[in-house]
Amino acid sequence: MKGRRLSLFLLLIMVSLLATGCWSRKELPDIAIILAAGVDRTPEGNVTLTLQIVKPSAASGGGGAGEPGKEQATVMVVSQTGKTVADAQQGLATRLSRKLHWPHCLVFIVGEAAARDGLRDITNYFSRSAEPRQTMWIAVTPGQALDIINSHSEIENTSAQAIAQMSLQNSGLHMEYHDFMYDLSSGESNPVAPRIEIIRQGTPQGPGGAKGEAAHNEAVFTGTAVFRGDRLVGWLDEKDTMGLEWLRGELEKGIFTVPSPSAPGKYLSFSILKSTTKVEPEFVDGKVGFHVIIMTDVDLIEQQDTADVTQPEILEAVQKTAADEIERYARDALFKMQVLYRTDGCHFGEHFHQKYKQKWKVMEKDWNGFFADAGADIHATVAVRHSGILGKQANLRESR
């Protein structure tokens, strides 16, 4: 009986502990949800942190409270300068009525000045704190990150959601924060990140559009930012980005257009189904070399010439032309990485390390130099898997 009474007593104490609620609770009305964060560097060397924060009343859907046709802004943007990211955030926190809430941050934008100065100072906060998710998208802008965070999207509720959607769905090179950090930390590679810019785009229709707010600006991806170590050294355009993705073996989707082999002035367009890249490093007489083999499966999605692609020899010529074009893409990108920027953003160091473990230990420090002076031959093969619903044989599998 005594034990029973004691356990009852203990149980009562436990219940009273539970009834007080939690210490670290985060109630929705107490937090300001961050959707996007941007970091810039001021000329004085300080850090400017810009945050896109959800406006609670607008996000909960006011139920037609606003005037018809005039949309309510769903987010607000705040900005603050400090010595470190945390310092700037503290400056913001003291001016907001709510506690900043990081875990739902979708995108992380870095301004050019900050990226050229070196990212390590900035990323430390985002890696050290357990709050921001490592899966947020990272992008670099040739300008101020502030402007990107400040932009709005006509289709999505917020520009942050638009950027996240584009990163998830669209072709092009997109980086999650932790993948970027891996490239930055591994010593085998240099990171790359997508380039994001404000571009005048589209004409919104309807009452708002008709009143003269015609063309407006949106943040869109326009290529790649190339780093050496943690410093931004230059940019690649969209074409070279595709070449870089082929070199890295990360190309999942995209469309490319090649001149027709049979009719001058006409073009063929292909959609990429699948692509694999094999990199075979070699080390002869103190010189590094790479054999790159790219194997790509494509759909023929548009054909301006009239050749019958169901004929094996014509298909052969088409595939050869496409393969030549892929080689040109990859060679152009590699040329820029080797000659213009002298930085290995192609993961070639990873392949080299795996094959030459002992030599790597000596070469690791000067790897970018070895990479820049390395010879490389690129060989691409293309297999046209489908040619749409035109032509006698829709499926050309057997004529490969």
Partner 1 sequence: MTEHGKITAGQLTLLITNTVLASAILFAPSAIVKHAGTDAWLSLLIATLAGGMLALLAIHLCKLFPGATIFEFPELLLGKVLGKATAILYIWWNLHICAEVIHEFSFLMMTAFMPETPILVFHLIMTAIAAYAVWHGLEVLARVAQLFVPFILISTLFLFVLAIPQMHMAHLFPIFDTDPLSILKGSAVPLSWFGEIMAFTAVLPFLNNRAESSTRSVLFGIFLVFLFFLITVVGVVALLGPVITAANLLPLLTGARLIHISTFVERVDPVLVIVIVLGGFLKISLFYWVAAFGSGQIAGLRDYRPIVVPVGFFLFVLSMSLHESPADLLDFLGTIWPVYAIGIFEAGIPVVLLAVGIYRAARGRGDSQ
Which residues contact partner 1 (rule: CB under 8 A)?
7, 10, 14, 17, 22-24, 103, 130, 133-135, 168, 176, 178, 181-182, 185-187, 347, 350, 353-355, 357
The residue among 278 and 397 lying less far from partner 1, judged by its C-beta, is 278
Min dist. Cβ of residue 4 to partner 1 (A): 12
Which 8-state DSSP code applies to residue 311?
S
Min dist. Cβ of residue 30 to partner 1 (A): 12
Min dist. Cβ of residue 45 to partner 1 (A): 26
CB 345 within 8 Å of CB 241: no
The residue among 126 and 235 lying less far from partner 1, judged by its C-beta, is 126
Min dist. Cβ of residue 113 to partner 1 (A): 26
The residue among 57 and 134 lying less far from partner 1, judged by its C-beta, is 134
The residue among 54 and 309 lying less far from partner 1, judged by its C-beta, is 54
Min dist. Cβ of residue 138 to partner 1 (A): 14
- Burial of residue 253 (CB within 10 Å: 0-12, 13-18, 19+) is middle
The residue among 104 and 116 lying less far from partner 1, judged by its C-beta, is 104
136, β-bridge pairs: none
Residue with tokens 């937090």: 31
The residue among 250 and 297 lying less far from partner 1, judged by its C-beta, is 250
**Residues contacting 18, CB < 8 A, separation 6+:** none
The residue among 309 and 346 lying less far from partner 1, judged by its C-beta, is 346
3 state SS of 377: strand
To the nearest 10 degrees (0 to 180), the angle between helices 238-248 and 312-335 is 100
Nearest Cα neighbor of 183 from 192, 173, 196, 172 is 192
CB 367 within 8 Å of CB 281: no
The residue among 10 and 210 lying less far from partner 1, judged by its C-beta, is 10
Min dist. Cβ of residue 53 to partner 1 (A): 20
Structure-block tokens of residue 288: 């590094």
Min dist. Cβ of residue 219 to partner 1 (A): 20
The residue among 14 and 390 lying less far from partner 1, judged by its C-beta, is 14
Q: CA-CA distance, 253 to 342, in Å (whole number)?
A: 27
Min dist. Cβ of residue 135 to partner 1 (A): 6
Structure-block tokens of residue 350: 């990873």
CB atoms under 10 Å from CB of 83, counted, come to 10
Min dist. Cβ of residue 23 to partner 1 (A): 4
Q: What secondary structure does DSSP assign to 136-189, as a single string?
A: SEEEEESS-HHHHHH---SSSSSHHHHHHHHHHHSSS--EEHHHHHHHHHHSS-
Distance of CA 245 to the CA centre of its chain: 12
End-to-end, the C-alpha distance of the chain in Å comes to 85
Where do the H-state alpha helices sit in 44-109? 56-59, 85-93
Min dist. Cβ of residue 256 to partner 1 (A): 26
The residue among 320 and 359 lying less far from partner 1, judged by its C-beta, is 359
Nearest Cα neighbor of 254 from 174, 337, 336 is 174
Nearest Cα neighbor of 344 from 195, 173, 225, 188 is 188
